[in-house]
Amino acid sequence: MRQIGFEEIENIALGAALLGAGGGGDPYVGKLVALGAVREHGPVTLVDPEDVPDEALVVPIAMMGAPTVLSEKAIGGKEYQTLYDMVSQFYSQEIYAFMPIEAGGVNSMLPIAAAARLGLPLVDADGMGRAFPELQMVTFTIGGLSATPMALTDEKGNSVIFETITNKWTEELARAVTMSCGGSVSVCLYAMEGKMLKKYAVKNILTRSERLGRAIRDLGKGSAERPEEAFIAAIDGFKLFKGKIADVLRETRAGFNFGKIVLEGIGPYRGQEAWVEFQNENLIASVEGKPVATVPDLICLVDTETFIPVTTDALKYGKRVLVVGLKCFDLWRTPKGLELVGPRYFGYDIDYIPVEEHTKGGGCNV
């Protein structure tokens, strides 16, 4: 066990924004929420997933909806207690700890805030190892865990508990309620015992986020002789493209941020064109019409000078970005994982090829 305070939050927010693959919300907004809670209630205890008792009840807590909405519709502050009461009363059991459901600038921060305000520990694990747009897209679905009972509440005090027949139905129904509540809500779902957590969770995600964030902040100080190469090495990533944003197409639809950006190459990529499509998170990156990375691998855009991650809601014409790829969690590369989050699920008629193979000259099979 260790404590999460102000410095750890700064680093986790930055690293989780990278692992969010363009989604997961504005890290600045999420960071403010977490910092405010810790300032009022003290640091949060981070627990290794292997130290969680097998029968203990662990509950992921998150924001659901379009991340852009949070910049206009903030969290009220009472949602965490409402969700805790709903879940613990349903199970007739006290919640042992919270955990994040995904990595991202908001959904890595809200569980810290909830844990601080309710005096609970936080488990160093999540269900994605990155961010995905739909709630059934978690490793726990692969393990057969139901998303329900799912507790949902908004900042006004409206609340509901879902019981559904599949996790996809949970997504459909909860998304409809989210839209009725203004486009974003707070949720608890995939409540599980410690033994399920240990078997299917992506472990040490907050520790990894903190390490990545610290590396990005250190590189921003200008200490590295070859900063771009140092950044790629620090994140264990793959360079896909470097360019200037020439066009951004974006719309909020059905509770998601959809869009596409066009990049004009700079440096060694001058004269080439790339594009990235996203649904909250970046889904596919292509250079000169050829896919170079797809979900479930992570496609991340970072500022060319500071290496600070650029989320999909912060994309602007003229910004210069480095496009990098990261390997996804191993379970996503299994047949069950690809059925849930592979390129074909999102409507792309291509087979998944690991990002490390793309960078060796491979391509997607059309």
pLDDT digits (tens, 9 = 90+) for 16-29: 999 999 988 778 88
Structure tokens at 140: 């726990």
pLDDT value for 74 = 64
| Single-letter code of the amino acid located at 63 | M
Q: Which CATH code, of 2.40.390.10, 2.40.50.140, 1.10.3720.10, 3.30.450.40, is assigned to 227-358?
A: 2.40.390.10
Q: What angle do CA 231, 235, 26 make, to 5 degrees?
A: 90
Which among 151, 178, 130, 144 has a CA at the least distance from the CA of 88?
A: 151
Classify the C-alpha dihedral 140-19-251-287 as positive or negative: negative
Could you tell me where in the chain the CATH 2.40.390.10 domains are found? 227-358
Q: For the residues 238-259, what does the mean pLDDT come to?
A: 91
So what's the pLDDT on residue 50?
Answer: 97
From-to residues of CATH 3.40.1610.10 in the chain:
2-205
Q: Are strands 57-65 and 97-99 parallel, antiparallel or unpaired?
A: parallel
Query: Is domain 2-205 annotated with CATH 3.30.565.10?
Result: no
- Confidence (pLDDT) at 184: 87
Mean residue pLDDT of the chain comes to 93
pLDDT-derived band at 65 (thresholds 50, 70, 90) equals: confident
Q: Is the dihedral of CA 329, 326, 311, 254 positive or negative?
A: negative
> What's the pLDDT at 73?
67
Question: Regarding beta strands 281-287 and 290-294, do their DSSP bridges make them parallel or antiparallel, or are they unpaired?
Answer: antiparallel
The band of 361, judged by pLDDT with boundaries at 50, 70 and 90, is low
Average pLDDT over every residue of 133-159: 95
> Is the pLDDT assigned to residue 366 strictly greater than 60?
no
**DSSP SS3 for 16:** helix
Supply the pLDDT for residue 76.
64
Instruction: Give the pLDDT confidence score for residue 365 in this predicted structure.
Output: 41
Average pLDDT for 121-130:
98
- Say if strands 2-4 and 44-47 run parallel, antiparallel, or are unpaired: antiparallel
- Beta strand segments in 66-109, E: 97-99
pLDDT digit string, tens, across residues 288-328: 999 999 999 999 999 999 999 999 988 999 999 999 999 99
Residue 362 confidence (pLDDT) above 80: no
Dist. CA 11–CA 31, nearest whole Å: 10
Provide CB contacts within 8 A for 264, sequence distance 6+: 243, 244, 246, 273
**pLDDT of 159-208, one tens digit each?**
999 999 999 999 999 999 998 998 889 999 999 999 999 999 999 999 99
Q: What is the pLDDT of residue 295?
A: 98
Q: Dihedral, CA atoms, 76, 81, 82, 83, nearest 10 degrees? A: 110
Length of the chain: 366
Predicted local confidence at residue 274, as pLDDT = 98
8-state DSSP, 309? B
pLDDT above 60: residue 278: yes
What percentage of residues in the chain have a pLDDT greater than 70? 95
- Helix H or strand E segment including 29: helix 27-41
Mean pLDDT for 112-127 is: 97
Q: How does residue 105 score in pLDDT terms, banded at 50, 70 and 90?
A: confident
Cα–Cα distances in Å, from 281 out to 4, 36, 104?
27, 27, 10
Residue with tokens 């910049």: 71
